[in-house]
Amino acid sequence: MNRLESIAILLAAWLAVAFEITFNGFRSTLGAQFSLLPALMVYVALSSSLPTMAMLAVVGGLMQDAFSANPLGVTTLALSLTGFMLHRQRDLVLRDQLYAQVMTGFLASSLVPACVMVVLMNTHHPVPLSWRLLGQWLVMAAGGALVTPLVFRLFAQVKQLFAYQPVPESHYSETRQIKRTRF
Amino acid sequence: MLRKSQYIALGFVALVGLIFLSLPESTTNRVKLALTGLFLPLFGLTEATQSAARRTGNAIVPREDLVRELEQLRAEKQKLEFNLAQAQGALRENEQLRQHAGLPARVPWQLKPARVIARDPANWWRTVFIDVGSRDGVRADMPVIAPDGLVGRVAAVGSTRSQVVLLGDQNCRVAALVKETAENGIIMPYAADPAVVTLTYLSRGSPVKGGQTIVTSGLELKPGNAVLTSGLGGVFPSGIRIGEIVDVRNVGFGLYQEARVKLAVNLNSLDRVWVVVQ
């Protein structure tokens, strides 16, 4: 399941980036595009291993930066930082609870763009801060918060699909022997 | 505490990020364009889906609508033929006058049609990818236009794909002029609205001539004035429509004017564009 899960996560990252670069609906209506990679990173950080998380940060970050004017590697750093922070606290997060998923999704989706902005401020590609950017940041965070529970449910379905089916319980039980007695 | 394997993973990711961040821009652009190749199946699928949807749409349009549209197009074609004949006459006249004046002849534009295949996932940049590249004669810094006006310029070129920086991005500055007053300025991004750009460094009054004083009213520019590319800077040819002025204000302690310009092209719904390859 581990290898299969890694492949599923990579495929999900590909689909997430494909959605972001081709679907323009949110940008037209809400003025900002959601990023699905932070939501995916929340799931991976809370449910999967560290190498899988590193793989998602590298592959997902590079794929996203390839279509962006961001310097290559900046999203990788932001995703990995967010992922490691969540991974370190994973024992304290009730990851099966809906509100925990929403809150971690909100946190990750606001932290990733913030980290990217901090890095951009220190490169030769500074982005001017504006109220519009703040609004977009909030939309991204809210979008990530809504998407994260869906990611958890999707991967629960995938796990269920590929995991071994539980063996049906036998009706035979040793304690149910008929003990023959004299009477 | 982190275990040893965790330190290794953390170090590995940080190293990968920092290596890519420190690469020179030309190498980064090449790596980026190579990475976009991972999404070729997506682009093919999108194209196939769109053409299938178009075919389905064409199949279900009623015949009466098609006939009506055909008649409209015929009438429009006749009108455009008259306009073309007029324009050709004006062009010939212009060439003759240029010849008499000793000016070099204007080179007609060669346009390469392209389709927008991807948009920048980051909200703070305004770039798109188009499906033509160096194989189609596209080079960096070539202007990209749409029927309504200027779209942007080519920033990076791959063999079959190119990245275009749109108007309103901070990496796309355009030398522009106001058609009615011939005031020169520079198009810069306007952060609050993606459909608007700023035309800045406009002089406060009309040009000073002998015996004239500087007009300091700053009211020469009016809302609705057309803004075109000026041709200065060598990247964009002159006369491409950018948009129209929304309002004007004095900035820099009254040293110069700044105008908000509403873009002629809706950059949010770009689908087909043309690269000016010559």
Q: What CATH number is given to the structural domain containing B201?
A: 2.40.10.340
Alpha-carbon distance values, A118 to A29, A107, B216 (Å) = 27, 16, 42
Say yes or no for a CB contact (<8 Å) between A21 and B13: no
Same-domain check for residues B37 and B117: no
Say yes or no for a CB contact (<8 Å) between A73 and B18: yes
- What is the per-residue pLDDT for B211? 52
Q: Cβ of A16 under 8 Å from any chain B Cβ? A: no
- What is the per-residue pLDDT for A103? 93
Same-domain check for residues B49 and B124: no
- What is the per-residue pLDDT for B22? 86
Query: b/e for A63-85, b at 16 or more Cβ within 10 A?
Result: bbbbbbbbbbbbbbbbbbbbbbe
User: pLDDT digits over A24-49, tens only?
Assistant: 888 888 888 889 999 999 999 999 88
What residues of A are in contact with residue B189 (Cβ under 8 Å)?
A: 128
Same-domain check for residues B232 and B131: yes
User: pLDDT digits over B247-276, tens only?
Assistant: 888 887 777 888 899 999 998 888 899 999
| Closest among B259, B252, B195 to B227, alpha carbons compared | B259
Mean pLDDT to the nearest integer, B197-226 = 66
- What is the per-residue pLDDT for B217? 45
Residue B185 domain-assigned (yes or no): yes
What tokens does B2 get? 């982190």
Structural domains of chain A in order of their starting residue, each with its CATH number: 2-162 (1.10.1760)
Q: Is residue B135 over pLDDT 70?
A: yes
Same-domain check for residues B129 and B48: no
- Nearest residue of B to residue A133 by CA position? B124
Same-domain check for residues B162 and B254: yes
- Non-local (6+) Cβ contacts of A35 within 8 A are A16, A20, A64, A109, A112, A113, A140, A143, A144, B121
Residue B93 domain-assigned (yes or no): no
Residue B94 domain-assigned (yes or no): no
Same-domain check for residues B10 and B129: no
The helix (run of H) or strand (run of E) holding residue A112 is helix A98-121
What tokens does A64 get? 């996203």
Residue B194 domain-assigned (yes or no): yes
C-alpha A92, offset from chain centre: 18
Domain finish residue from B44, B59, B74: B59
Residue B77 domain-assigned (yes or no): no
Domain finish residue from B18, B35, B59: B59
What predicted TM-score, i.e. pTM, was given to this entire model? 0.82
Q: Give how many domains chain B has, as a whole number.
A: 2
CA distance A90 to A96: 11
- What is the per-residue pLDDT for A1? 52
Q: Is residue B59 over pLDDT 90?
A: no
Same-domain check for residues B148 and B237: yes
Q: Is residue B208 over pLDDT 90?
A: no
> Among A84, A117, A130, whose Cβ lies nearest the Cβ of B192?
A130
- What is the per-residue pLDDT for A174? 66
Same-domain check for residues B146 and B54: no
CA distance B254 to B252: 5
The helix (run of H) or strand (run of E) holding residue B262 is strand B256-263
Q: Is residue A143 over pLDDT 80?
A: yes
Residue B201 domain-assigned (yes or no): yes
> Among B5, B23, B169, whose Cβ lies nearest the Cβ of A72?
B23
User: pLDDT digits over A54-109, tens only?
Assistant: 999 999 999 999 999 888 989 999 999 999 999 888 888 888 889 999 999 999 99
d(CA A55, nearest CA chain B) in Å? 8
Residue B12 domain-assigned (yes or no): yes
- What domain range includes position B53? 4-59
Same-domain check for residues B135 and B244: yes
- What is the per-residue pLDDT for B249? 84
> Among B19, B129, B191, whose Cβ lies nearest the Cβ of A67?
B129
Same-domain check for residues B50 and B120: no
Residue B88 domain-assigned (yes or no): no
Q: Can you count the helices (H) and strands (E) in chain A?
A: 7, 0
Same-domain check for residues B127 and B257: yes
Residue with the larger pLDDT of the pair A162 and A142? A142
User: pLDDT digits over B81-134, tens only?
Assistant: 999 999 999 999 998 998 898 888 777 788 999 999 999 999 889 999 999 999
Same-domain check for residues B46 and B175: no
